[in-house]
Amino acid sequence: MWESEIEGKKLTFHLAGINNQNFIMRDDETGTWWQQVSGEAMHGAFKGRQLTNVFTDEITFAVWKREHPNGRVLRPDDRVSKNYEAANWEEEYEKLRVVVPVDPNDKLKPRALIAGIVVNNQPIAYAMEALRQQRLILNVIDATPIFIALGEDNKSVRAFERKVEGRTLEFFVKENQFVDAETGSTWDFTGKAISGALAGKQLKKISVLKDYWFDWKIYHPDTSVYTANQ
């Protein structure tokens, strides 16, 4: 998700093409071509510039509506809704072919699902398989302590910086909630402490991109990868 304004100019975007299985959008105002996944201008007046990222959660509807009972939901367009993906589209997509070159040394298959984060310009891809096995993974990325966790729905992923008032916390999962070992406070899936000494504190959210391994790697060639068997 991107802010529509860049350098004070509001842009209107349309689908304009495909670049290695990630789409290109074109703005009506300047005709610049933008890469959807990176927000980067590839050709045209804004070439080299990047759209400002809007923090986006990719979670199940169940989790979202519990957290935002007063939110609004995009309605389907009845004229074309027959063309929407089927409910099992995720399985269907995994069978689609990949046309970009595949590195034979990769630990993951091209269409393996990953949850990707970028911390201090350092990209890491966590295999969904690893998250399903471990539920919560603690890491330190370039001196920033983080954790990444899978929701009880087995689909929603969130990541947080695990530092509160200068103190690094070690988390574990207990009955679908997170508990920090230092104070025993309980935290919910939004990263907020709901009971214990730290009640009311909010962990800083890190944006998570659920993606296919091959696509993530194109836009983050220097990525590290965390797999289940490590």
Partner 1 sequence: MQANTPSKTGRWKLWMALLLLVVTTLVIVAIPVFVIMPFKAQTSAGLEWSYWLRRVSPWITITASVMALAFGIKLWRGARWWSRIALPIFLAPILAATWFAHQNHFEWMFNPLPNAAYATVAEANFVNDNDMVLAVEINGEAVAYPVRQMAYHHVVSDVVGGKPITATY
**Contacts with partner 1, residue ranges (CB under 8 A):** 1-5, 10-21, 23-25, 31, 33, 36, 42-44, 51, 54-62, 64-65, 67-77, 79-80, 83-85, 87, 89, 97, 99-101, 153, 155-156, 210
Closest distance of CB 216 from partner 1, Å: 15
Closest distance of CB 98 from partner 1, Å: 9
Residue-by-residue DSSP string for 90-126: HHHHHTS---S---TT-SS-TT-EEEEEEETTEEEEE
Q: What is the rounded CA–CA span in Å between residue 3 and residue 53?
A: 6
- Residue 183: how many CB atoms within 10 A of its CB? 16
Cβ–Cβ under 8 Å, residues 209 and 109: no
Closer to partner 1 by Cβ: residue 168 or 190: 190
Provide the CB-side half-sphere exposure for 111 (13 A, CA).
11
Closer to partner 1 by Cβ: residue 58 or 182: 58
Q: What is the rounded CA–CA span in Å between residue 60 and residue 14?
A: 26
Closest distance of CB 29 from partner 1, Å: 13
Decide the pairing of beta strands 157-161 and 204-206. Answer: antiparallel
Closer to partner 1 by Cβ: residue 111 or 210: 210
Closer to partner 1 by Cβ: residue 7 or 85: 85
Closer to partner 1 by Cβ: residue 27 or 180: 27
Q: What is the rounded CA–CA span in Å between residue 58 and residue 155?
A: 9
Using the 8-state DSSP alphabet, how is residue 50 labeled? B
Closest distance of CB 166 from partner 1, Å: 27
Q: What is the rounded CA–CA span in Å between residue 211 and residue 217?
A: 10
Closest distance of CB 39 from partner 1, Å: 9
Closer to partner 1 by Cβ: residue 21 or 50: 21
Closest distance of CB 86 from partner 1, Å: 8
